[in-house]
Amino acid sequence: MTEKTGKQAGTNSELTQSVLGASILVVDDMALMRQMIGMCLSGGGYENILFACDGDEALTMIEADMPDILILDLNMPRVSGYEVARTLRADARYDRLPILVQSASETPEERVEVFAAGATDFVSKPINQPELLARVHMHLQNRFLIDSLTDFRERMQSELVMARDMQQSLLPEMPSVREIERASGFKLESFYRASFELGGDLWGSWLLPGDYIGLFVLDIAGHGVGAALNTFRVHATMARFRRARLDPARFLTELNKVLVPSFPLGQFATMFYVVLNYKTGEMTYAGAGAPRPMVIGNQGVRLLDSSGIPVGISKKPDYVNITDRLMPDESLFCYSDVLIEAPQPNGEMLGEGGLISWVEEQAKKPDRKNLVSRLLRRFFDAQPSSLPDDLTAVAIHPNKERK
Amino acid sequence: MEYKITTKDNQAQVVFRGDITFSENVSFRQLLKDISEQSVTRCEFDLSGVDMVDSAGLGMFLIAREQADTAGWKLAVTGAQGHVASMLKLTKLSDLLDG
């Protein structure tokens, strides 16, 4: 047990306090042995020492209140030390209870049997007091370190789950998606899955005055807590630029202006923002390095130019608006990079070209409105359930032919 | 990601192999530390052996660029091809990283 490990789980003085405050159950049928071990432990600074005269009594005491460590004699009447160890090890509640066996017999066979029964460690009789103290101390310290690491891990896991849920709450909710669909006559098909760790994907859509809808996808570089916290920052910042929402290049420029000084070096967001007139199909969009969105029609797939310096890097990003038109049979499909970068079963990444051929294949089938879910079904069939990064895929499909 | 640094006449060349992704964060920072410990005036990142770079990988290049500016050496990113070249083009970072 090194000091370094102790420091990771808590301070050394806290650990020593926990160790000395630990409850120790000494099980021996001989009163003299109980007394001798008890004195040895008291001399070592331990205060919380309990005694049992046989295995039966030990099991009853443990059931009532689990000690932090058990010092167990092997040869006892009624229930032997072996049986006590086996009974405890058969019960998951006592998985982490250290069992220190003491015995006079020293044969190798017996030692093997002791460990097979579930003992953590072994001390020989006659008991060498400093050795007993050292072993008790080491096992208690291990026990508390493992407890503290397990608690820490469990807490971190529940915090991550909470953070993921909070991040998910930044995405558009069903009622607002339905409202956009009702007003625009388009169908919004979206998918978002957070990576096992936290990630930095975000998408959003809003209705704008004059028959327009706005749609953005963004991906903050890297993942983990930093990227996730930055999605909150970006989301909050975006709310400040409502008036720029009709002008994609201006919207990206305003956002960039705020984020350049606040993003740490090496962090940025790739982004694509489009404003679509849902009556005419006219689109104005600006890109900041997001994967190139696809326009999917009956004739095939074409790519939109989403190139641009990601948001948060440069003071002069020079974002430009590009205009295009979504024809009545066409859908617009945006996605985050993990879709083309995640390794496939053959070890290669799908790549943009690979995804285009998947999309073309799916676009030939009827019912385009489920294209994203069909694509992702194919993607996840070949993927482990946990992705290296967040995955976002959003499509706008025409609900009916526009006049 | 693997890399090999060779230095000659105050000029360093780092040849990368494999993927440069988020998980290379720590070794990339170590690389930058190694470079800064040698007094170089120019450093070339040769990416011809790199198959893939993700957005976090690009972020690491930006950090390298910043460190070059601070420490007074020139960074040149060369040899990008395939996915790596597309990423640099899509994010318009090739100019920023090569000057």
Could you give the number of structural domains in chain B? 1
CA angle at A33 for the pair A30 and A35, rounded to the nearest 5°? 110
Separation CA B85–CA A375 (nearest Å): 26
Q: How far is B32 from chain A (nearest CA, A)?
A: 13
| Cβ <8 Å between B86 and A352 | yes
Q: Is A100 exposed, middle or buried (0-12, 13-18, 19+ CB in 10 A)?
A: buried
Q: How far is B85 from chain A (nearest CA, A)?
A: 13
Q: Which of A218, A268, A311, A392 is the best residue to mutate to test the B interface, defined by the most B CB atoms within 10 Å of its own CB?
A: A268
> Closest residue of A to B22, CA-based?
A222
Look at residue A101 in the predicted model and tell me its pLDDT.
Answer: 95
Separation CA A69–CA A139 (nearest Å): 8
Please name each of the domains of chain A with its CATH number: 3-161 (3.40.50.2300), 170-398 (3.60.40.10)
Separation CA A106–CA A103 (nearest Å): 8
User: Order of strands across the sheet with B74-78?
Assistant: B2-8, B11-20, B42-53, B74-78
Token pair 């005055």 is found at A209
Q: Is A257 exposed, middle or buried (0-12, 13-18, 19+ CB in 10 A)?
A: middle
Look at residue A143 in the predicted model and tell me its pLDDT.
Answer: 92
**What is the secondary structure of A67-110 as a DSSP string?**
-SEEEEES--SSS-HHHHHHHHHTSGGGTT--EEEEES---HHH
- Walking along chain A (403 residues) 10 residues at a time, the average pLDDT comes out as 40 77 95 95 95 95 96 91 95 94 83 92 91 95 91 90 89 95 96 83 95 96 83 92 95 96 89 97 97 94 96 93 96 94 85 94 88 93 78 91 47
**CATH number of the domain residue B24 falls in:** 3.30.750.24
- pLDDT tens-digit map of B35-94: 888 889 999 999 999 998 988 889 899 989 988 988 888 999 999 999 999 999 999 998
How many other β-carbons are positioned within 10 Å of the β-carbon of residue A215?
26
Does A55 reach chain B within 8 Å, measured CB to CB? no
Q: Which amino acid is at B60?
A: M
Domain that holds residue B31: 2-97
**DSSP bridge partners of A207:** A213
| Cβ <8 Å between B55 and A313 | no
Give the Å distances, CA to CA, from A380 to A48, A133, A223, A372.
55, 55, 20, 12
For chain A positions 318-347, those within 8 Å of chain B (CB to CB) are 337, 341
Does B83 reach chain A within 8 Å, measured CB to CB? yes
Radius of gyration of chain B (CA): 12
ipTM, 2 dp: 0.86
Separation CA A8–CA B80 (nearest Å): 42
